[in-house]
Amino acid sequence: MRKKIVAGNWKMNLDYQEGIALFNEVIDLVNAEITSSQQAVVCSPFIHLQSLVQLAKVSGKVAVGAQNAHQAESGAYTGEISAKMIWSVGVKYVILGHSERRQYFGETDALLAQKTDTALKNNLTPIFCIGETLEERQSEKHFEVIKAQLYGGIFHLDAEAVSKLVIAYEPVWAIGTGVTASAEQAQEIHEFIRQVIAAKYDQAVADGITILYGGSCNPKNAPELFAKPDIDGGLIGGASLKARDFVDILKVFNA
Ligand code: PGA
């Protein structure tokens, strides 16, 4: 059985107090309503991480993730945060290669390959994001783009290392736009990702990897998406800023 995960991505939202208040709400709802074994993850800005880890300890049902980490172990990189620092406060996950990082911060597949190595070396579980732009889908390059992102970002890893990753398929045209990929469109790509992994490694590796869908996922569309055989949960942006919506998405696996 693959691990089911619903991960919230707060992006650059919520000041410290607002973040703590939201997280407390999430924990209360999770404690009251979530019984099965799916994993809730909240990926916050760096400033919240340490406090969220402390609050999460009491519940034990929510893990905490960062949204980025530097590729170097340490050094003269003013303003950056290392994977080791993130791990040192008790964080377990890190989002890597989000399309906003690729687009606004020029993160390339080659850079992301380095970030993945450093994150894994420091015991973090990368939630590695891939996905095509609208233009790429319209010109029917989406399969090619996904394959290139897998080869460029993570296929240098051996089977043992790649098995530690969580992959998130996030079509760029569906992120924050209110336009969701249909469950069929998402399933088609998730199945393709698994095929590409099976061809590079083997079927067991492909069958074991958790693949999340992201892009305007909400409590209404999550049931149809998560019912698909290759969709193992979601990476949730906007809806993760509302405790009720986020926990309702988690509850899809309880239904
Ligand atoms: P969204 O963002 O749910 O607001 O579309 C998803 C993401 O960017 O991870």
Cα 51 to ligand 1 centre (Å) = 23
Q: Active-site residue 48, yes or no?
A: no
Residue-level pLDDT at 70:
98
In order of 16, 61, 158, 162, the CA distances from 117 in angstroms are 30, 27, 11, 10
Residue-level pLDDT at 188:
98
Ligand 1 probe mutation, 173, 211, 235, most atoms within 8 A of CB: 235
Please report which confidence band the pLDDT of residue 67 belongs to, taking 50, 70 and 90 as the band edges: very high
Using an 8 Å Cβ cutoff, are 111 and 102 in contact? no
**How many whole angstroms separate alpha carbon 115 and alpha carbon 157?**
12
Residue-level pLDDT at 59:
79
As its CATH architecture, domain 5-254 has: Alpha-Beta Barrel (3.20)
Q: Which atom of ligand 1 is nearest to the CA of 235?
A: 9
Residue-level pLDDT at 114:
98
Instruction: Read off the pLDDT of each residue in 26-48 and give the average, rounded to a whole number.
Output: 91
Residue-level pLDDT at 180:
86
Using an 8 Å Cβ cutoff, are 59 and 31 in contact? yes
Phi, psi of 8 (to 5 degrees): -90, 140
Q: Is the pLDDT of residue 37 over 70?
A: no
Q: Active-site residue 170, yes or no?
A: yes
